[in-house]
């Protein structure tokens, strides 16, 4: 994995507008981890950090755990300005910030960007990573036909294992999830 100071991405309960285990810290950390695996495996090196940033804020503005197409837009309006200084500190440009915002707004709706859209890759990575954590909604809640990358399809079993290893523990630091993910990869995938 890319050399990132993971402590910069530690979440706090107060970042979330709605306190939830379904869309809370553990879910967000798993999505962040999966964005990194997808983007790096797909060779989308320029998209790794923007996708990580998008995953970091994608559910922070939820009002509840129900079906909602607006929470992505709400996160862009209320959370992106709060965390933009952090994102810029780690090297995000104006274009990156724009693509992070587009990805977050688009992650909660069904329409897709065209592959030629400059935000397509970051958005597709976020959508796939978020979908891979649907195991938390039930064993058969993920329809792999909607995944955009072949890598994502290959990560389904890994994503389930990551969920089962993290579902019942209180995770404070993003680094904890990354270490669990590395252990799963080493133990089961060589």
Q: What torsion, rounded to 10 degrees, do the Cα atoms 107, 67, 175, 36 define?
A: -30
Residue of 15, 32, 16 whose CA lies nearest to 174: 32
The mean pLDDT of 40-49, rounded to a whole number, is 94
pLDDT-derived band at 151, boundaries 50, 70, 90: very high
For residue 3, pLDDT beyond 80: no
Written as one string, the DSSP assignment of 32-86 is: HHHHHHHHHHTT-GGGHHHHHHHHHHTTTT-SSSS--SSHHHHHHHHTHHHHHHH
- Sorted by where each begins, the domain ranges of the chain are 14-189
* Residue 187 neighbours by CB distance under 10 Å: 9
Report which DSSP code applies to 131: H
User: Residue 143 burial (CB < 10 Å; 0-12/13-18/19+)?
Assistant: exposed
User: pTM of the full predicted structure?
Assistant: 0.95
Assign domain 14-189 to a CATH class.
mainly alpha
């Amino acid at each position: 994995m890319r050399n990132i100071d993971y402590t910069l991405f530690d979440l706090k309960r107060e970042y979330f507008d709605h306190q939830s285990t379904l869309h809370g810290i553990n879910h967000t950390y798993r999505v962040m981890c999966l964005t990194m695996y997808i983007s790096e495996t797909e060779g989308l090196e320029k998209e790794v950090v923007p996708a990580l940033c998008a995953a970091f804020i994608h559910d922070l503005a939820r009002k509840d755990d129900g079906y909602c197409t607006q929470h992505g837009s709400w996160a862009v309006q209320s959370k992106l300005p709060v965390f933009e200084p952090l994102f810029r500190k780690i090297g995000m440009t104006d274009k990156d910030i724009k693509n992070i915002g587009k990805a977050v707004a688009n992650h909660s709706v069904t329409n897709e960007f065209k592959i030629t859209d400059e935000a397509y890759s970051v958005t597709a990575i976020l959508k796939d990573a978020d979908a891979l954590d649907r195991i938390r909604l039930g064993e058969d809640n993920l329809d792999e036909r909607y995944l955009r990358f072949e890598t994502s399809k290959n990560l389904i079993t890994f994503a389930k294992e990551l969920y089962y290893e993290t579902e019942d523990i209180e995770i404070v630091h993003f680094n904890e999830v990354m270490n669990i993910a590395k252990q799963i990869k080493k133990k089961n995938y060589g």
